[in-house]
Amino acid sequence: MSEGLRLTAMPKEHFSDFAEALSVGYAKDQADAGIWPRDEALFKARMTTMELLPDGVATKDHFLWEVMQGKEFVGTLWVFQEEKTYFIYDILIFDAFQNKGLGSELLVLLEENAKERGITEISLHAFAHNKRAVHVYKKMGFEVVDITMRKYL
């Protein structure tokens, strides 16, 4: 039987690697969705990350966690708290640990954390092209509350 997941505060010395990986992934998602031109996407993603997390791991109301399974570092989680709401900015299970139910397990762990802190709602944004993530979120009880649509001409 595998050990359950736990969240540990991200050490400040891990922040720059996290921020760069986050920016690369966000740039790809924005470009794949047709929102940002590919040649500008990484710069824009890095700027957005710096704006949202100006104080790195110490940014007020933001929680940057490393996701651990036993002694193994399996992913990261970035959550913003506003009053009684958690907003998931980024959830990542590393490729080597994908397809093992860890994403769902992480969402359950986050719900437990939220309830302990008096949080009454968890929200997030998902890119429509990320069908696997959308499937997991729906399976875990998240409901679609807004849809943005586009028609290319």
Question: How does the average pLDDT of the chain come out, rounded?
Answer: 94
Give a yes or no: residue 54 inside a domain. Answer: yes
Cβ neighbours for 118, distance < 8 A, ≥ 6 positions apart: 84
**Count: domains in the chain:** 1
Mean pLDDT of 115-125: 96
Cβ neighbours for 50, distance < 8 A, ≥ 6 positions apart: 19
pLDDT at 2 over 80: no
Mean pLDDT of 46-59: 98
Give a yes or no: residue 148 inside a domain. Answer: no
Give a yes or no: residue 107 inside a domain. Answer: yes
CATH of the domain at 81: 3.40.630.30
The pairing of beta strand 5-9 with beta strand 62-69? antiparallel
Neighbour tally for 36: CB within 10 Å: 19
pLDDT at 96 over 60: yes
Mean pLDDT of 78-83: 97
Q: pTM, whole model, 2 decimals?
A: 0.91
Q: What amino acid is encoded at 59 in this protein?
A: T
Residue 139 to residue 103: CA distance in whole angstroms: 11
Give a yes or no: residue 153 inside a domain. Answer: no
Give a yes or no: residue 77 inside a domain. Answer: yes
First-last CA distance in the chain: 53
How far are the Cα atoms of 29, 36, 48, 90, 118 from residue 45, in angstroms, in the given order?
10, 10, 5, 13, 32
Of 105, 92, 121, the closest CA to residue 20 belongs to 92
pLDDT at 92 over 50: yes
Mean pLDDT of 114-142: 93
Give a yes or no: residue 146 inside a domain. Answer: no
pLDDT at 93 over 70: yes
Mean pLDDT of 71-98: 96
pLDDT at 72 over 90: yes
Give a yes or no: residue 151 inside a domain. Answer: no
pLDDT confidence tier of residue 121, bands split at 50, 70 and 90: very high
Domain residue limits at 33: 5-140
Give a yes or no: residue 120 inside a domain. Answer: yes
